[in-house]
Amino acid sequence: MSKKIVMAAMAAAVMLGGCASHSTAPISQYPSTPVYSSSYGVVDSIQIAQTSSGGGTGLGTVAGGVVGGVLGNQVGSGRGRTAATVAGAVGGAMVGSRMQGNAQPQVQVYQVGVRLDNGSYQTLQQEAIGDLRVGSRVRIENGRVYAY
C-alpha cells in the first residue's frame, strides 16, 4: 500500500512540475511579441530587466515532490495519510521548484519599447542594445531592434 502512495506522490510531483514556469513578466504594460518581418519606428523606452537563464522543470521540482511525499506519508493513517502524502508531494514540488529558480543565475536583459511608423507599439527583449538610445530611428527584424 505504501508503495502505491509513494508512486502516486511522485506522479503528482512530476505532473505539477510540468505546470512550473520560470518566465519573467514584462516590466512594460505593452505586450512583448516577436516580429518575423521588418518594421520601422523610433525607440520610446529602454528598461533593464533581470531574468533567470534557465527554465523548465528541473531536479528541484522532482526532488521536492519526492521528499514532500515521503514526509507527508509519515503523518496520520488511512485516508488522512493519503491526503497528507499528496499534499506533501505537491507542496514539496512547489518549494523545490522555487528553490531551483532562486539558485539559477540572473541575466540582465533590455526591454526596448518602439513606437512603429504605423502607430502601434512593440516591446522587445534583447541582451545588448549597442548604440540605441531613446529617440533613435530603428528597424525591427526577426524580433531584434537595430539602429537604422
pLDDT tens across the length of the chain (148 residues): 566 666 666 666 666 665 555 555 555 555 555 545 678 999 999 998 877 555 555 677 777 767 777 777 777 677 777 777 778 777 778 887 777 665 556 678 899 999 999 999 999 998 888 889 999 999 999 889 999 8
Cα 32 from Cα 122, distance rounded (Å): 6
Whole-model pTM: value is 0.43
Secondary structure, 3-state, 35-85: CCCCEEEEEEEEEEEEEECCCCCCHHHHHHHHHHHHHHHCCCCCHHHHHHH
